[in-house]
Amino acid sequence: MEAFASPEFWIAVGQIILIDILLGGDNAVVIALACRGLPPHQRKMGIIYGTAGAIILRVLLIAFALALLSVPYLKLVGAVLLVWIGVKLLVPEHEDAHGNIQSSDRLWGAIKTVIVADLVMSVDNVLAIAGAAESAGSHQMPLVIFGLVVSIPIIVGGSQLVLKLMDRFPMIITLGGMLLGWIAGQMAYTDPAIKPFVPQGAVWEYGVAAAGAALVLLMGKLLVQRQQANAAAAG
C-alpha cells in the first residue's frame, strides 16, 4: 500500500495510461478488423478473449524488458528507439497500416489474429511502458499491471472518443511524443554503461529528460516541414 501513497507511482501510472492511449489506438482497430468476420454473438467473446490474451502477453514482454534494461548499453539503444517512436508519432501517416489484417469466421482464429498482431505491434508500447515503470523503483511490475488494467477500457471502449479528442486537440499527440522523448532521456541518463561518467543528481536527470523531449519535438517539426515541402513540390 505504500506504493499508492507515492507521487512517483501515480506519475508513472499517468505516463503508462497516456502511452497506452497514444500507442494503443491501433490495437483497437486490429481487434475490430480481426473480429469483423465472426457471427454477431461471438464478436464480444472474440474481443474479450483476444484482448485478455494480448494483455497477458504484453505483461510478460514488459517483465522481460525490465530485466534487460539492467544490461549495459541496452538503455541507450532503447532511448534511441523511443526517440524514433516519439518522432514517428508526430508525423502524420498517409498509408493504411491495417490493410493486411485478415478477419476470421472462427472464434479461435480471430483470437489468434488479435494476439499475434498485438505482439507485432507492441514493441513500442512495451519499451515505453518499461521505461516509464523504472521510476517506480521496486514496484515496477505491480505498476505495469495496474496501468495496463486501467488503460484497457480506455483503449477498447473509448478509442473513438480518444481519437476525436486527438483530432480536436493535436497538442495531446505532441505532448505524447515529447513524453516518449522525456522517458528516452531518462533511460539514456541511467544506462549502467555511462552512469559512472556523467554528473549525478535530479537536476541533471531532468535536464537530460527535457533535452530528449525537445529533441523529439524538433525532429518531428522538421520532418513535418519536409513532408509538407515534398507534397507541395509534387503537387
CA distance 153 to 161: 12
pLDDT at 69: 73
Eight-state DSSP code of residue 84: H
Under 8 Å CB-to-CB from 161, ≥6 apart: which residues?
Answer: none
Would you kindly state where each structural domain of the chain is located, as residue ranges? 2-225
CA distance 2 to 11: 15
CA distance 119 to 92: 23
CA distance 124 to 130: 10
Can you give the pLDDT of all 235 residues of the chain as single tens digits?
555 567 777 787 788 777 777 766 666 666 666 676 778 777 778 777 777 777 787 778 877 877 777 788 888 888 888 888 888 878 876 544 454 555 556 777 777 776 776 666 666 677 777 777 776 665 677 777 777 776 666 666 655 565 566 678 888 788 878 888 998 898 889 888 888 888 988 899 899 999 999 999 999 999 989 988 888 887 6
pLDDT at 216: 94
CA distance 215 to 85: 12
pLDDT at 209: 92
pLDDT at 95: 46
Under 8 Å CB-to-CB from 185, ≥6 apart: which residues?
Answer: 79, 208, 209, 210, 211, 212, 213
CA distance 230 to 224: 10
pLDDT at 180: 84
Q: What is the pTM of this model?
A: 0.68
pLDDT at 207: 94
pLDDT at 211: 96
